[in-house]
Amino acid sequence: MLLTFPSDEWLARWVELANDDPEFRRAGMGWSGSVGCVVKQREDGPRRTVHWLLTGNDGQWTDYRSSFEAQITDPARFVLTAPRAEWCKILRQEIGPFAAIAAGHVRISGQLSSVLRWAQALVEMARLAGLVDTDFDRQPRP
CATH number of the domain at 58, please: 3.30.1050.10
Strand, coil or helix: 69 = coil
Q: Which one-letter amino acid corresponds to residue 93? A: Q
Dist CA 94 CA 15 (whole Å): 21
Range of the domain at 39: 3-135
In a domain, 56, yes or no: yes
Q: How many CB atoms lie within 10 A of CB 46?
A: 9
User: pTM of the prediction?
Assistant: 0.91
- pLDDT (tens, 9 = 90+) of the chain, 142 residues, equals 899 999 999 999 999 999 999 999 999 999 999 999 999 986 655 578 999 999 999 999 999 999 999 999 999 999 999 999 999 999 999 999 999 999 999 999 998 888 889 999 999 999 999 999 998 876 655 4
In a domain, 141, yes or no: no
Domains contained in the chain, number:
1
Q: By the 8 A CB rule, do 132 and 90 touch?
A: no
In a domain, 45, yes or no: yes
